[in-house]
Structure 1
Amino acid sequence: MSQLSAEEKKSLITRNLQETLGDDKLNAILKERDLKIYWGTATTGKPHVAYFVPMSKIADFLKAGCEVTILFADLHAYLDNMKAPWSLLELRTKYYEAVIKAMLSSIGVPLEKLKFVKGTDYQLSKEYTLDVYRLTSVVTQHDAKKAGAEVVKQVEYPLLSGLLYPGLQALDEEYLKVDAQFGGVDQRKIFTFSEKYLPALGYEKRIHFMNPMVPGLAGGKMSSSEEDSKIDLLDSPANVKKKLKKAFCEPGNIADNGLLSFVKHVLFSLFKEGEGFTISRKPENGGDKTFLQFEELEKYFAEQLLHPGDLKSAVETYINKLLEPIRQAFETPELKALSAAAYPTPAKANTKNAVNAAPEEDGPHRLDIRVGKVIEAGRHPDADTLYVLKIDLKEENPRTIISGLVKFVNIEDLQDRKVAVLCNLKPSKMRGILSEGMVLCTSNEDHSEVEPILLPATAQPGDRISVEGFSGTPDEQLNPKKKVWEKLQVDLKTNSDGIAVWKDNFLLTPASEKLTSRLANCHIK
């Protein structure tokens, strides 16, 4: 390493990057000593093959003599909209460490030259906590929200945890005692936030290196949450083949091609001198061909001299070579158990009763909430506090729904009113009359004020109400024994502006309009 010149080290450090902030500082440091750099990852979803992009850059950094720290950002993972509970995050941090070490070994990176750190090992210290408070005294809400725009989930009324996230990432640079931070270009706003605010605390501005974002297999960003967009590091060869077969790879298209991006940013950076990317083809299809430069491969594909199927077949071969050592490492009983505990498989549906089987995850998508119109309202013959409502949901017949609104809403005000109806509760008899759903209402703490949720004028009977950020098919019927409604209802409420939300995610009509109530900060039930 010492034989490399400063220029050669810089060339290795910056190759294939989309952008570098702090070039002058980089030049100055490399003239005197080797660079200290860190890369962090929040321990949430399972790492996938796109993680080979930062891993291959870490290999470059080490070749250039850099001191590299890998941060497992467990606290950041928790603050990012609480995607996982602490118990799972501890297991996932262990999983990340095991799988990333296996990845680095797969591409020949010596682990003894790396430092691995867990965020909560230092982020809960007195000094770090005081610096968080110091940072909050100089950072505006606008800047904090803007900094996290590409990384932290954005909602109209963000949690304070998401606003803290960029500041913590900035402080990591100081507490890890590095010269530079490395990440994807989606981190750019956090990096510029760090450059602005660390000096405000008396700390020096760091260098920032940014990788381009590799397109997913289905087009767009490769993401842990989009199953078809990524290949898991433990996927079997059969699964790799199946996912690559579905991959978006339009003939001649080099602009939005996840396969070509992977070849450029991972494979070509790992090839030794004289090695190249080999396409195996039948003689009638042009025969085998090896590309020693990525630009040559890209031009060949752009001119449609290479069929997408042949590119997919070659990438499949190389990916399986990278994944095989990782698969083998995770064949041990210990790592198999860790993988299963960190990412538990949801219970499978009962195939004998598939129609009524519960979906795999608890979430508001399980609720079948629809717009209904009251076409008939009358008093229950055997209960003074109950109405018997006939509600049009654009089904074959109107539904009969019993509602305890007698004390709160005049019967005249219910006639022809549009209401939000929970449609997949198990029908139950109330004083002798079968009720086939529930009119959703807001209620204050002492239940002295109750009113049906207000729907926008454009909402029509039969429209399905969704929850922002969630998709999926509702249960045909919520299982009362498993208390699905009761568990989900706890987080169904109105916010301080009287807008209906589930865990700060808006309830929306098909036209993306919000449901409201004059009762703010109240439960919906």
Structure 2
Amino acid sequence: MADDSSSVKLKGKESFGVDPDTLSPEQKKHFITRNLEEVLGEDRLEALLKEGKNIGVYWGTATTGKPHIAYYVGVMKLADFLRAGCAVTVLLADLHGYLDNLKAPWELLAHRTKYYEFIIKAMLESIGVPLDKLKFVRGTDYQLSREYTLDVYRMTSVVTEHDAKKAGAEVVKQVKNALLSGLLYPGLQALDEEYLKVDAQFGGEDQRKIFTFAEKYLPHLGYKKRIHLMNPMVPGLTGAKMSSSEPDSKIDPLDSAQVVRKKLQKAFCEPAKVEGNGVLAFAKHVLFPILSGEEFVIDREEKFGGRVTFTVYQDLEEAYKKDEVYPLDLKNGVANELNKMLEPIRQQFAASKEMQDLRDLAYPAESESIRDLHFLYCIFFFSSLEPKSKAKVGASDRAVDYSRLDVRVGRVLSVEKHPDADTLYLEKVDVGDKEPRTVVSGLAKYLTMEELHERNVVVLCNLKPANMRGIKSEAMLLAASSDDKVELLVPPPGSKPGQRVFVDGYNTEEPDEMLNPKKKIFEQIQPDLKTNSKLLATYRGIPLSTDEGGVTVKSLSGASIR
């Protein structure tokens, strides 16, 4: 859709001080449609703007799970609509949430609706959107009226089961035997356009089938077609759609700065690849429009390229494609900017006992819910039937990749010479277990005992223990090596013994309890473990990381890791 035209000079928060009536129809259309994936009824939009009409737009959100930072993508478009002089309504769709396979219990809906309103308003305020330009409406304020109910019955008399099910396929939770509530969902969303008296509805691209459903069936009831504005679907932190039902894929606006950083560190972020990159997508659709010409800063050590800034998103994307900006660089930059945005929301929440109580009412602890206790009992019962060894369950079917490895941060507690081999050391290494592990390494010709003692290292912990000159070695220190040089991998500062060393995209499954030596799993994975030109340890080009940052080496680039 429309991009950022250089002819439109109004940008950022400053444009809220400009009277939209002074904008031309072309300028208004620019703000309404920029960065959208698709517009249905663009000709109708242009006609209304030429008539001088202020477009009425509504955005609906079902109050089911918790709002997360992907809501900022929608919030940014609300800001654009306001810049264009639109009359904007935010529909807190509580009844829709209830109908969507009972995702939100009826007794919690009122609390969750209030919580959603608080969070969405706080998000709008955090980017400078004036709330006096907006209207918040609860679905049950009008959807239980006699007129609306009669229209629902009228809708059911013309809609086929096939069309209703197809319309909700991307939005309503799909089950083997479709519930009638899910079939009603698209019809209610279509009727909302008429009862909210708007010219357009805004939503994600996943709403397209509901939008075309509305265009088809509203005229059957004597109501006019509306314009439909669709945002692209922004991938979440795992590379899929960002969803409140998948904790690893989303960041809560109330998450602490530390939690935000940890979640971003674990985000899937493939080097040099833009497609499916949720961190880049968030920068494009949220951060850069908010910064609006101000610098997006990536601070890094000189040996990793030093400080770099970007004022245009496309420049960041190009640098990322060329490996001039690495995933860890991007994550750190996004974390800094995101935490600046979220801090006012955290402070507002911390200062409001009312909102804290409301959150507890809207999302009660699992232990306080009889239903959840039953659920936990079921998990306990069925887990007791599972095999004890996770390594044996489907191990033959699992891909041979980094996810199979149990790699952790370790700390060398003591070092001594092997009694029967001058080239071997015996180390006691804390890897987070109850007792330190004995490691036999061939590092005597490369490092002194003093250089190893009290040093943080990276340890492969799930190799089968092996006898090394009569002493059992229970793990392996990972190092980069060339023909005549060996350098131990270095965990980032702040890493603790036992902390997992993960790789983006390969941290969704638990590692094997023990690698089967007959399958030569590590031997198959090892060729893809290398250091890069930035002295980062990588697997298939993706850095090895802890929650504190990337694993490095001192000087060996392009070296094999073993």
Shorter-chain TM range is 0.5 to 0.7
Q: In the alignment, residue 154 of structure 2 is paired with which amino acid?
A: R
Q: Map 1:19-98 onto structure 2 (within 5 A).
A: 19-32=38-51, 33-98=53-118
Deviations 1:479-511 (A, max 9, x none): xxxxxxxxxxxxxxxxxxxxxxxxxxxxxxxxx
- Could you tell me how far 1:84 is from its partner in structure 2? 2.1
1:261 to 267, 274, 281: 281
Whether 1:290 aligns to 2:306 is no
Whether 1:304 aligns to 2:318 is no
Counterpart CA distance in 2 for 1:27 and 1:197 is: 23
User: Is the Cα–Cα contact under 8 Å of residues 65 and 104 in structure 2 kept in the other structure?
Assistant: no
Q: 1:76 to 1:281 in 2, by over 3 A?
A: same
User: Is the Cα–Cα contact under 8 Å of residues 73 and 119 in structure 1 kept in the other structure?
Assistant: yes
Tell me which residue corresponds to 1:240.
260
Q: In the alignment, residue 32 of structure 2 is paired with which amino acid?
A: I
- Could you tell me how far 1:276 is from its partner in structure 2? 3.2
1:278 to 297, 306, 323: 297
Whether 1:12 aligns to 2:25 is no
User: Is the Cα–Cα contact under 8 Å of residues 41 and 226 in structure 2 kept in the other structure?
Assistant: yes
Tell me which residue corresponds to 1:475.
none
Q: In the alignment, residue 46 of structure 2 is paired with which amino acid?
A: N
- Could you tell me how far 1:217 is from its partner in structure 2? 0.6
1:162 to 182, 185, 188: 182
Tell me which residue corresponds to 1:128.
148
Counterpart CA distance in 1 for 2:365 and 2:346 is: 18
- Could you tell me how far 1:271 is from its partner in structure 2? 2.1
The residue matched to 2:233 in structure 1 has which SS?
coil
Tell me which residue corresponds to 2:337.
318
Counterpart CA distance in 1 for 2:335 and 2:311 is: 19
- Could you tell me how far 1:154 is from its partner in structure 2? 1.1
Larger mean CA deviation between 169-178 and 213-222 belongs to 213-222
- Could you tell me how far 1:277 is from its partner in structure 2? 1.8
Tell me which residue corresponds to 2:192.
172
Q: 1:287 to 1:81 in 2, by over 3 A?
A: same
Q: Map 1:346-361 onto structure 2 (within 5 A).
A: 346-347=366-367, 361=375
Q: In the alignment, residue 236 of structure 2 is paired with which amino acid?
A: G
1:116 to 136, 156, 163: 136
- Could you tell me how far 1:367 is from its partner in structure 2? 4.7
2:121 to 98, 101, 107: 101
Q: Which runs of 5+ in 1 are unaligned?
A: 349-357, 372-392, 396-525
Tell me which residue corresponds to 1:200.
220
Q: In the alignment, residue 81 of structure 1 is paired with which amino acid?
A: N
Counterpart CA distance in 2 for 1:86 and 1:370 is: 33
Counterpart CA distance in 2 for 1:95 and 1:185 is: 25
Counterpart CA distance in 2 for 1:20 and 1:69 is: 19
- Could you tell me how far 1:292 is from its partner in structure 2? 1.9
Q: CA RMSD of the aligned region, Å?
A: 2.1
Q: In the alignment, residue 21 of structure 1 is paired with which amino acid?
A: L
The residue matched to 2:229 in structure 1 has which SS?
strand
- Could you tell me how far 1:368 is from its partner in structure 2? 2.3
Tell me which residue corresponds to 2:483.
none
The residue matched to 1:171 in structure 2 has which SS?
helix
Q: Map 1:445-484 onto structure 2 (within 5 A).
A: none
Q: Map 1:483-522 onto structure 2 (within 5 A).
A: none
Q: In the alignment, residue 47 of structure 2 is paired with which amino acid?
A: A
User: Is the Cα–Cα contact under 8 Å of residues 359 and 366 in structure 1 kept in the other structure?
Assistant: no
Deviations 1:68-104 (A, max 9, x none): 0000000000000111221211100000011111110
Q: 1:299 to 1:172 in 2, by over 3 A?
A: same
Q: Map 1:180-219 onto structure 2 (within 5 A).
A: 180-219=200-239
- Could you tell me how far 1:242 is from its partner in structure 2? 1.1
Deviations 1:206-238 (A, max 9, x none): 000111111111111111011111111110111
Tell me which residue corresponds to 2:382.
368
Deviations 1:467-489 (A, max 9, x none): xxxxxxxxxxxxxxxxxxxxxxx
Counterpart CA distance in 2 for 1:294 and 1:230 is: 22
Counterpart CA distance in 2 for 1:175 and 1:338 is: 29
- Could you tell me how far 1:245 is from its partner in structure 2? 1.1
User: Is the Cα–Cα contact under 8 Å of residues 346 and 360 in structure 1 kept in the other structure?
Assistant: no
The residue matched to 1:149 in structure 2 has which SS?
coil
Deviations 1:29-81 (A, max 9, x none): 11121111000000010000101000011011101111000000000000001
Counterpart CA distance in 1 for 2:290 and 2:326 is: 24
Deviations 1:262-287 (A, max 9, x none): 00001122123x31322222233222
Deviations 1:229-263 (A, max 9, x none): 11111101111111111111111011110000000
Q: 1:363 to 1:171 in 2, by over 3 A?
A: farther
Counterpart CA distance in 2 for 1:115 and 1:241 is: 34
Counterpart CA distance in 2 for 1:248 and 1:77 is: 29
Counterpart CA distance in 1 for 2:365 and 2:28 is: 45
- Could you tell me how far 1:344 is from its partner in structure 2? 1.5
Deviations 1:264-322 (A, max 9, x none): 001122123x3132222223322222222211111110111101111110000011111
The residue matched to 1:330 in structure 2 has which SS?
helix
TM-score relative to the length of structure 1: 0.67
Tell me which residue corresponds to 1:139.
159
- Could you tell me how far 1:15 is from its partner in structure 2? 0.9
User: Is the Cα–Cα contact under 8 Å of residues 205 and 233 in structure 2 kept in the other structure?
Assistant: yes
Q: Map 1:415-434 onto structure 2 (within 5 A).
A: none
Deviations 1:175-196 (A, max 9, x none): 0000000000000000000000
Tell me which residue corresponds to 1:374.
none
Q: 1:257 to 1:88 in 2, by over 3 A?
A: same
Q: In the alignment, residue 160 of structure 1 is paired with which amino acid?
A: L
User: Is the Cα–Cα contact under 8 Å of residues 91 and 137 in structure 2 kept in the other structure?
Assistant: yes
- Could you tell me how far 1:335 is from its partner in structure 2? 0.7
Deviations 1:340-365 (A, max 9, x none): 111112239xxxxxxxxx97955855
User: Is the Cα–Cα contact under 8 Å of residues 40 and 183 in structure 1 kept in the other structure?
Assistant: yes
Tell me which residue corresponds to 1:250.
270
Tell me which residue corresponds to 1:415.
none
Q: 1:101 to 1:251 in 2, by over 3 A?
A: same
Counterpart CA distance in 2 for 1:360 and 1:111 is: 42
- Could you tell me how far 1:143 is from its partner in structure 2? 0.1
Counterpart CA distance in 2 for 1:136 and 1:370 is: 47
- Could you tell me how far 1:369 is from its partner in structure 2? 9.2
Q: 1:367 to 1:19 in 2, by over 3 A?
A: farther
- Could you tell me how far 1:120 is from its partner in structure 2? 0.4
Q: 1:18 to 1:88 in 2, by over 3 A?
A: same
Deviations 1:445-478 (A, max 9, x none): xxxxxxxxxxxxxxxxxxxxxxxxxxxxxxxxxx
The residue matched to 2:366 in structure 1 has which SS?
coil
Tell me which residue corresponds to 1:228.
248
Counterpart CA distance in 2 for 1:359 and 1:249 is: 37
